[in-house]
Structure 1
Amino acid sequence: MQNQKKLIEEPESHLEKSETQTSVKRKRIVIIAVALFFLGDLLCFAWVMRPESTKVASPAIAPFSEAQAAAFQTDWGTHLNIPEEMQNSLEMRFALIPPGTFTMGAGPNEKAVKSREQPQHEVSLSKPYYLCVHEVSLKNFREFVKDTNYQIDPRRDAAGVSQANLSAGNWVEDPLHPWEKVGFEQNEAHPVVNVTWFDAMAFCRWLSEKENRTYRLPYEAEWEFACRAGTETVFNTGNSLWFYGPMENHSDQTVNPGLIVHMQDASPWKDGYANTSPVGTFPQNHFGLFDTHGNVREWCMDWCDEEYYSHSPKVDPKGPQTGASRVLRGGCWGSNEYYCRSGRRMERAPGSRNVRNGFRILCEIDPESDFGEYEYSPTLHRDPRWWYESRIGEEVE
């Protein structure tokens, strides 16, 4: 009887033990599942809250669209934890330009191409930078002059000033007309003109010291990359500046006919501005920059070498180390369309003044960046007759 009872109890004990083991396994599974759930949440939270500087940002390799240009700016702003557009103490606005690769120079089929604009070659810019969305205005430059009591250096300006005599409809050399009296009406929103390369660099040095960050002129590779903004056409608007209407302030039916040579090539439109227009009047490009093809030609950092494109570095080219003239980029209010091309480049003595020349400034993101070369190079022609003679027969566009 006792043996029978033992036989009956043993299966029940075995069953209870089995059920207990199953229950423990289930609890373990639940605990593991809950732990994995919370671990997943923790990993997701860590990914979202990771430092901004670790987020991926790719170089902007041309060609790219307007939407892609904006995306590159956003990605690099996020990556560096800086705004896509910043404003300085003068209320000048700057667009973030990403590093990237593009084809620099003019194509073989572009009109009025010069040998100094060729051959086309691939260039890569390794660092992002801020570029002012507008050309430096009369208001901006006046603040600099007022704050520093800046005076024109007669050693740099002995050759005089290129001045438009609108009543006679021609160009005259007049040393009595600096940036304040340019021969046509301007307000504070118009770009400053009649400034030398040295004037532009003095403005940059003043602003750098004022804000404790580095402002300078752009190198021409930086300028052209920003101007093209992902496009590979003749202009950043396509292959025309006026097909659908005025896209930039360049020579049209409003400009004084006596001040340009090829009036037959002027735009058929009237944009309402015979000379300079307020900065930002015309449409912006894909990076948010205005007036890259018109209004005024812009001084760049580089010395100019007519054959530089045939041997320039592929990464971050900065022009030759010495020279006699500096590079100017972009078209102006008196330029015909084909003198406003993205690949168009000119050269002028750094001490020359012209009512078609102004400048745009760059702000370095890296606080350790150098200001850049400022003093005269030993190879610079100091004799003002050289500059005057070099202007004889110069193209007036």
Structure 2
Amino acid sequence: MLSKLKIKYLAIIIILIGFSVGFFNISRPSFKLTNHEVTYIQDKLKNGELSPNMVIIPPGTGTIGGENFRSFQDEAPIFEATVKDSYALSETEITFAQYDQFCKTGIRSCPSDEGWGRGKQPVINISWFDAVAYTKWLSKETGYTYRLPSEVEWEYAARAGTSSKFWWGNEYKQGIDHCDRDLGGCPKGSDLGHPWQVGILKPNPFGLYDVTSNVYEWVEDCYVDNHNNVTGTTAANKTGDCNDRTVKGASWTMPQPHVHHSLRMGFTINARADSIGFRVLREINKDELKD
């Protein structure tokens, strides 16, 4: 009789734990991230100056996309994608200081900062072609392959392997990775009527800043208005109208409830705006991870 009671109570406890996990939207990948150690790579340019600081993104399986809760959304269907190999993403969005190293060579014209300052401000008024040109220059300067991330590579890294709406959970929290000025209570420096300096809010568990804020970020993919024909890999989408490319993340212009990791939009490859920037991906050779 005692053993039957123990089994009965154990079953009840297991059910309650399962209910709690579902109720609080705790996803299994979140537990795995608690022991993740952020690792950095930073290359040198030919003149000895440093290239952007990069964080290594580990392989795994991640949730991509979201539910369409408004008629004009393009984030469904949700799917899982497998990241087989590590890669590195710039810790922050590319700054004016970093982009100015490139544009002062005369390869591309230097963009306007709208009077908001350069330095650690995220570079803005950047077309998709401008961003790609910067990655090609970085590749030549460092001897490593830099490029724009695919949408899957970007969103997997932004979510830090979780399946929740944000890397911290399913509920928006002011000031963690975004500032909605209408709500008030923004951390100092992020309560401006324009982009703020990179890296002043909290990083996600992979070490990335501003993945749902500051500026939209160009990715490699041609834009389509759904995820119907995804491959479940990290490959960029090359179908659809490739005169339009995809941007990911939210920007300083966007209020709640529009901010989340699955947000995506399409812009023409020549489009420039004070809310569009980018971050870069660096491919990693397996030999680099042996040490």
| Shorter-chain TM-score range | 0.7 to 0.9
- Taking the aligned partners of 1:116 and 1:280, their CA distance within structure 2 comes to 29
Q: Aligned partners of 1:290 and 1:113: how far apart in 2? A: 30
Equivalent position to 1:98, from 58, 68, 72: 58
- Is the 1:249–1:276 Cα contact (8 Å) retained in structure 2? no
1:334 aligns with 2:289: no
Change (3 A) 1:206 1:341: same
Computing the radius of gyration from Cα coordinates, the structure with the larger value is 1
**Structure-1 separation of matches of 2:94 and 2:201:** 16
Measured after TM superposition, the shift of residue 190 of structure 1 is 0.6
Kept after mapping to 2: 8 A contact 1:292/1:330: yes
SS in 2 for 1:310: coil
Q: Which amino acid aligns with 1:118?
A: A
CA distance in structure 1 between the aligned counterparts of 2:278 and 2:167, rounded to whole angstroms: 19
Q: State how far apart, in whole Å, the 2-side matches of 1:278 and 1:99 are.
A: 29
The superposition leaves residues 84-122 of structure 1 with CA deviations (integer Å, 9 ceiling, x where unpaired) of: 2111222521111111112211035xx547442001111
Residue from 193, 205, 221 that aligns with 1:274: 193
Letter in 2 for 1:206: W
In 1, the alpha carbon distance for the partners of 2:124 and 2:167 equals 24
Residue 339 of structure 1: how far off its partner (Å): 2.5
Identity of aligned residues (%): 28
Q: What does residue 314 of structure 1 align with?
A: 232
Instruction: Say if 1:104 and 1:123, in contact at 8 Å, map to a contact too.
Output: yes
Q: Distance in 1 between matches of 2:35 and 2:177?
A: 25
Counterpart residue number, 2:117: 186
Mark the runs of 5 or more structure 1 residues left unpaired by the alignment. Answer: 1-61, 75-83, 153-177, 254-266, 368-397
| Contact 1:250–1:331 (CA under 8 A) maintained in structure 2 | no
Q: 1:134 and 1:224 mapped to 2: Cα distance? A: 14
Counterparts of 1:73 and 1:326, CA distance in 2: 33
CA distance in 1, matches of 2:161, 2:72: 23
When structure 1 is superposed on structure 2, of 219-228 and 312-321 the one drifting more is 312-321
204, 209, 222: which one aligns with 1:285: 204
Measure the CA separation in 1 of the matches of 2:70 and 2:200: 27
Summarize the alignment of residues 141-160 of structure 1 with structure 2, pairs less than 5 Å apart: 141-146=99-104, 148-152=105-109
Instruction: Give the direction of change, closer, same or farther, for the CA distance of 1:248–1:113 in structure 2 (3 Å limit).
Output: farther
User: Which of 186, 204, 208 is the matching residue for 2:139?
Assistant: 208
Aligned pair partner of 2:176 in 227, 238, 247: 247
**Matched residue SS, 2:140:** helix
Could you tell me which residue of structure 2 aligns to residue 344 of structure 1? 263
CA RMSD after TM alignment: 2.3
Quick one: structure 1 residues 345 and 113, their matched pair in 2 at CA, closer, same or farther if it must change by over 3 Å?
A: farther
Contact conserved, 1:106 with 1:113, CA < 8 A, in 2?
no
In the alignment, structure 1 residue 69 sits paired with structure 2 residue 69: no
* Counterpart mapping for 1:1-397 below 5 A: 63-65=28-30, 68-69=32-33, 71=35, 84-89=39-44, 90-107=50-67, 111-112=69-70, 114-146=72-104, 148-152=105-109, 179-182=111-114, 184-242=115-173, 245-253=174-182, 267-270=183-186, 271-307=190-226, 309-321=227-239, 323=241, 324-366=243-285
CA–CA separation in structure 1 for the residues paired with 2:84 and 2:150: 13
Is the Cα–Cα contact under 8 Å of residues 249 and 273 in structure 1 kept in the other structure? no
Question: Which structure shows the higher helix fraction?
Answer: 1
- Three-state SS of the structure 1 residue aligned to 2:247 is strand
Aligned to 1:206, what secondary structure does the other structure show?
A: helix
2:24 equivalent in structure 1: none
Give the C-alpha shift of residue 213 in structure 1. Answer: 0.6
Once the two structures are superposed, residues 306-340 of structure 1 have per-residue CA deviations (whole angstroms, 9 ceiling, x without a partner) of 13x11211223311345220000001111112332
- The amino acid of 2:281's aligned partner reads L
Higher RCO structure (Cα 8 Å, ≥6 apart): 2
Structure 2, unmatched stretches of 5+, are 1-26, 45-49, 287-291
SS of the residue 1:292 aligns to? coil
Is the CA contact 1:297–1:332 (under 8 Å) kept in the aligned structure 2?
yes
Aligned equivalents of 1:229, 1:136: Cα separation in 2: 20
